[in-house]
Amino acid sequence: MSEDRSKIFARADEVLNLFKRGAEFTKELIQENERLRRSLVDIEMRQTFAAQDPDQWDKLREELLQRIKSLEAERQSSLERLRTLEEENRQFATRHVEIEEENNILANLYVASFQLHSTLDLSEVVKVVMEIVINLVGAETLAIYLMDEKTNSLQAVASEGMNLSSFPPVALRSGVIGGAVALGQTVCAEGSGDHSVNSPLVCIPLRVQDRPIGAIAIYKLLQQKESFAPLDHELFTLLGGHAATAIFSARLYSQSERKRNTIQGVIDLLTNKPGQR
């Protein structure tokens, strides 16, 4: 029973508190209403007073004009700041695109260089060169020529898009390919069109210092590749140097392996250990 009574009292207290908070809120509202009324009356009085007194009217008008001017200046300044921010944003966006482009170029160059020097097997090096020209440059028809020092001519050793037999040997200094290799200058004919085996679209001479090693000749680009990008020219330069050294190193390694095997064979023969190395 006493528990019920205390519950009722507690509930009554809650209701009372609710009424008190309501009364306080109503009081605050009345006070706010009163303040606004006074403010309105004050403005009306100022306007009436100003309407009667031209000086006051001018003063009020001047004040309002000053306020408008100040707001206009504020708006101009905000617009100027917005323009500056937009310009900065544009510059950042452009820079971002440039950095992405540079990043793409560096990634391609890194991968090309890494792959070229990942093997000492000549056929593997040639395969890597083919992969780079097909996948990274976007060539459809190409041939790789290597220098035959005995005949002083360039022999096609690998091709894509056409049979290897379609690419005849080229004498050094002869034609576009022979000339590019002799001079050490990349030939790049911008734009597409028909390119015969003697007149490639691009010819990249492969040289180690002044020694001619071979050439990469591109005859046709993939249909989706419309023109050369800055990356392609970077790749041509990289291939001209790194493919040449990779081929040169692979050839030297192959020769040294052959010599080592011969010498080992002689040693085994002299020491009566046939078949041992």
Binding region for another protein (CB under 8 A): 100, 103-104, 107-108, 110-112, 114-115, 118, 128, 131-132, 134-138, 140, 222-225, 231
Which of 50/134 has CB closer to another protein?
134
Give the C-alpha separation, 123 to 251, whole Å: 10
Instruction: Report whether 140 contacts 161 (CB < 8 A).
Output: yes
Give the C-alpha separation, 156 to 250, whole Å: 17
Label residue 149 exposed, middle or buried (CB < 10 Å: 0-12, 13-18, 19+): exposed
Residues shown for the chain: 277
We find the least distance from the C-beta atom of residue 221 to another protein, in angstroms, to be 10
Which of 132/215 has CB closer to another protein?
132
We find the least distance from the C-beta atom of residue 224 to another protein, in angstroms, to be 3
We find the least distance from the C-beta atom of residue 132 to another protein, in angstroms, to be 6
Q: Cα angle vertex 131, ends 133, 103, to 5°?
A: 70
We find the least distance from the C-beta atom of residue 120 to another protein, in angstroms, to be 15
Instruction: Report the SS3 class of residue 272.
Output: coil
Which of 178/232 has CB closer to another protein?
232
Which of 118/261 has CB closer to another protein?
118
We find the least distance from the C-beta atom of residue 115 to another protein, in angstroms, to be 5
Residue 46 token pair = 């100022």
Which of 206/221 has CB closer to another protein?
221
